[in-house]
C-alpha cells in the first residue's frame, strides 16, 4: 500500500483523480462513509448525515452558552425542519481522515444561500479525524426542510509542503473558547419568550412592528411614566398628610375657630395643594428645559 506522499508528491489542491486514489488507499475519507459519485472536479461533496443540532433563539435571558437539541435522521426519518431564526449544526455523513500534511476547506452549497440559510465556510486542520459540520442560521421568515444525505458543502483538499508540527487537537484542548457570551436583543417569537422578557425588552420588540410599532411603544412608555408619577405623588401625600394633621390638631387657633373635623379637612386640603404645587413646578421646569 503506497503512502500518501507517494500518491500525492506535489504541493497544492488535489484533483478528482487524486482524491479518488487517496480515498481508495485509505486517506482523506473513511471507506464505507464515502460515495465515489460525490467526487467532482477538484472537490468532494459532503452530505447531510444522521446528526443535526438545533439551537432555538434566545428566550430573553442572558446565557453564556447556546443550548443545542440533538436530532437524529435515518432513512426512515429523512427530514428535519429549520424554523426562522434557528441555528443548526449539520453534521456530514462522511468520516474525515486527513493526513498531517493536508488542509481541508469547506464551501457551503449555493442552494443553502438561495434558501436564506446563512451557512459558514470553514477549514479542517491537518490530522483531523471524524465528522465535520456546517453551521447554518435560517434568516428567512420561512421554515426550511432539509433531507437526509442531501449535499450540503464541497470539501477541497490542499497538500502542504510538509507535515504540520502539531496535528489537529480540539479548540477546547488548547483552551480556546467555543462560544461567545450573548444577550438577546432580537424579536420575541413565542409566548414563553414574552413571559420571560423584561418590560424594557417587550417595549423594544413593539418597536419592531412594521406599522405603528414606534408610536405604540412611545404610548406604553408614557403610560408607564404617568403610572409611576401617580404612585410617587401618592407616596408624597401619605408622607405629608400626617405632619399637617398634627400641626392642625396642635393649633389652638384652628381648634377655636374651625373645630377638629374642619381642621382635619383643612390639613388634607393643604397637603393636596402642596402636592399639586410641587407637580406644577416640576412640569414648568421640564417645559423650560425642553425649550
Starting at the edge strand found earlier in the chain, the sheet holding 96-97 runs: 28-29, 96-97, 129-130
From the number of C-beta atoms within 10 Å of its C-beta (0-12, 13-18, 19+), residue 49 rates as buried
Q: Provide the whole-model pTM.
A: 0.61
Distance CA 177, CA 174 (A): 9
pLDDT of residue 110: 87
- pLDDT at residue 34, as a whole number: 94
Question: What pLDDT was estimated at residue 1?
Answer: 80
Region of 259 (left: φ > 0; alpha: ψ -120 to 50; beta: rest) is left
Q: Which three cell numbers stand for residue 23?
A: 480515498
Q: Tell me the DSSP string of 7-56.
A: H--SSEE--HHHHHHHHHTT-EE-TTT--GGGEETTEEEEEEEEEEEEEP
Rg, the chain, Cα only: 35
Half-sphere exposure of 238 (CA within 13 A, CB side): 6
pLDDT of residue 62: 45
User: What pLDDT is stored for residue 186 in this prediction?
Assistant: 57
Q: What 3 state SS string does 105-150 have? A: EEEECHHHHHCCEEECCEEECCCCEECCEEEEEECCCCCEEEECCC
How big is the chain, counted in residues? 291
pLDDT (0 to 100) of residue 5: 94
58, 184 Cβ separation under 8 angstroms: yes
Query: What parts of the chain have a pLDDT lower than 70?
Result: 57-66, 171-193, 208-214, 217, 233, 236-238, 240-291
- CB 54, CB 87: distance < 8 Å: yes
Q: ∠ at Cα 259 (254, 261), nearest 5°?
A: 115
Whether 32 and 92 have beta carbons less than 8 Å apart is answered as: no
Q: Write down the domain spans for the chain.
A: 4-164, 200-290
Cα separations (Å) of 263 from 81, 84, 266? 75, 68, 5
4-164: what CATH class? Answer: mainly beta
Amino acid at each position: 500500500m503506497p503512502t500518501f506522499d507517494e500518491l500525492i508528491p506535489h504541493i497544492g489542491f488535489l484533483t478528482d483523480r487524486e482524491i479518488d486514489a487517496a480515498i481508495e488507499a485509505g486517506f482523506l475519507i473513511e471507506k464505507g462513509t464515502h460515495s465515489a459519485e460525490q467526487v467532482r472536479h477538484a472537490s468532494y461533496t459532503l452530505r447531510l448525515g444522521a446528526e443535526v443540532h438545533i439551537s432555538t433563539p434566545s428566550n430573553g435571558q442572558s446565557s453564556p452558552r447556546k443550548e443545542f437539541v440533538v436530532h437524529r435522521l435515518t432513512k426512515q426519518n429523512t427530514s428535519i425542519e429549520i424554523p426562522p431564526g434557528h441555528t443548526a449544526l449539520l453534521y456530514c455523513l462522511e468520516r474525515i481522515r486527513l493526513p498531517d500534511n493536508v488542509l481541508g476547506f469547506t464551501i457551503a452549497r449555493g442552494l443553502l444561500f438561495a434558501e436564506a440559510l446563512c451557512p459558514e465556510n470553514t477549514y479542517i486542520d491537518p490530522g483531523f479525524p471524524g465528522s465535520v459540520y456546517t453551521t447554518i442560521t435560517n434568516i428567512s421568515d420561512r421554515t426550511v426542510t432539509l433531507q437526509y444525505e442531501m449535499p450540503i458543502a464541497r470539501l477541497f483538499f490542499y497538500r502542504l509542503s510538509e507535515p504540520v508540527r502539531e496535528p489537529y487537537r480540539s479548540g477546547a484542548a488548547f483552551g480556546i473558547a467555543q462560544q461567545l457570551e450573548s444577550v438577546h436583543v432580537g424579536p420575541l417569537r413565542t409566548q414563553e419568550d414574552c413571559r420571560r422578557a423584561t418590560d424594557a425588552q417587550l417595549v423594544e420588540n413593539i418597536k419592531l412592528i412594521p406599522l405603528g410599532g414606534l408610536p405604540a411603544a412611545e404610548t406604553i412608555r408614557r403610560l408607564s411614566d404617568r403610572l409611576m408619577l401617580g404612585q410617587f405623588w401618592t407616596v408624597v401625600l401619605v408622607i405629608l398628610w400626617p405632619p399637617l394633621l398634627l400641626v392642625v390638631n396642635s393649633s389652638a387657633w384652628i381648634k377655636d375657630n374651625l373645630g377638629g373635623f374642619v381642621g382635619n379637612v383643612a390639613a388634607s386640603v393643604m397637603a393636596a395643594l402642596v402636592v399639586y404645587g410641587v407637580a406644577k413646578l416640576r412640569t414648568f421646569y421640564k417645559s423650560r428645559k425642553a425649550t
